[in-house]
């Protein structure tokens, strides 16, 4: 059970999150909805431990996980920000090899390339890819992730229809035996997902 109680976050004088509470059990998903600038990314960063909230509680099964202080929690999450975390100079394959190597799952690289139809781009430098393709490469990391809690920032933005469906399938599978929290500024149809609307 992941639970957030009265989370608040302020940048300068601007209140970004105010008294936010929710709870999520294993097998459930959460869509963070809201307009641009409503604090979706901030909330995901707080959940990933990259930011610490000003006040409030954040716990996983009773353990405090604020600010990345719980190494066990960090070992269980996969965070996909709106930056793709791929080096522009390296090829698609070299980039994926690096992240798969760190995840200890290099064996799944061919599967990841195939799932997002990236085989023909594998040997191209990442910087030569289009926006949508770059995002697809970043999403390919989901395939070899062994983490059970996924935090995805706008995963459906800039994707074509088919890739979107494939991603939705992937998310549904992970949700069944883990937890998925994602943000979206557009409506997404995902089964068994709660919605949290930020103003």
Q: Which of residues 92-121 bind another protein (CB under 8 A)?
A: 94, 98-99, 101-103
Applying CB under 8 A, among 19, 64, 72, 88 the residue interacting with another protein is: 88
Spatial separation of the C-alpha atoms in residues 140 and 170, rounded to whole Å: 10
Spatial separation of the C-alpha atoms in residues 52 and 88, rounded to whole Å: 30
Q: Are 47 and 182 in contact (CB under 8 A)?
A: no
Spatial separation of the C-alpha atoms in residues 181 and 56, rounded to whole Å: 19
Q: Is 60 an interacting residue with respect to another protein (CB under 8 A)?
A: no
**Cβ-based neighbour number of residue 84 at 10 Å:** 19
Measured from the CB of residue 85, what is the shortest distance to another protein in angstroms? 4
Applying CB under 8 A, among 49, 53, 56, 178 the residue interacting with another protein is: 49
Applying CB under 8 A, among 18, 74, 172, 190 the residue interacting with another protein is: 74
Q: Is 89 an interacting residue with respect to another protein (CB under 8 A)?
A: yes
Angle at 198 between CA 192 and CA 199, to 5 degrees: 145
Applying CB under 8 A, among 25, 71, 187, 189 the residue interacting with another protein is: 71
Stretch that binds another protein, among 17-25, 57-65, 87-95, 160-168 (CB under 8 A): 87-95
From residue 44, alpha-carbon distances to 16, 28, 55, 94 in Å are: 13, 16, 16, 28
Q: Which residue has the tokens 């959940």?
A: 47
| Contact string (CB under 8 A) for another protein, positions 143-182, x = contact | ----------------------------------------
Q: Are 2 and 59 in contact (CB under 8 A)?
A: yes
Stretch that binds another protein, among 30-38, 80-88, 159-167, 184-192 (CB under 8 A): 80-88
Binding site for another protein (CB under 8 A): 48-52, 68, 71, 74, 77, 79, 81-90, 94, 98-99, 101-103
């Amino acid at each position: 059970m992941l639970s957030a109680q009265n989370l608040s976050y302020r940048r300068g004088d601007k209140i970004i999150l105010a008294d936010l509470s929710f709870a999520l059990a294993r097998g459930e998903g959460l869509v963070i909805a809201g307009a641009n600038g409503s604090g979706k990314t901030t909330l995901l960063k707080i959940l990933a431990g990259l930011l610490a909230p000003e006040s409030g509680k954040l716990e996983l099964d009773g353990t405090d996980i604020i600010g990345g202080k719980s190494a066990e929690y960090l070992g269980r999450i996969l965070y996909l920000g709106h930056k793709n975390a791929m080096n522009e100079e390296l090829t698609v394959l070299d980039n994926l090899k690096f992240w798969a190597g760190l995840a200890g799952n290099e064996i799944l690289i061919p599967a990841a390339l195939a799932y997002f139809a990236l085989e023909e781009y594998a040997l191209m430098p990442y910087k030569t890819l289009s926006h949508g393709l770059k995002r697809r490469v970043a999403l390919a990391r989901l395939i070899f992730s062994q983490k059970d809690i996924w935090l995805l920032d706008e995963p459906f933005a800039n994707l074509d229809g088919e890739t979107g469906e494939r991603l939705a399938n992937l998310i549904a599978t992970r949700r069944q035996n883990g937890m998925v929290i994602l943000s979206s500024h557009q409506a997404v149809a995902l089964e068994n997902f709660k919605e949290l609307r930020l103003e």
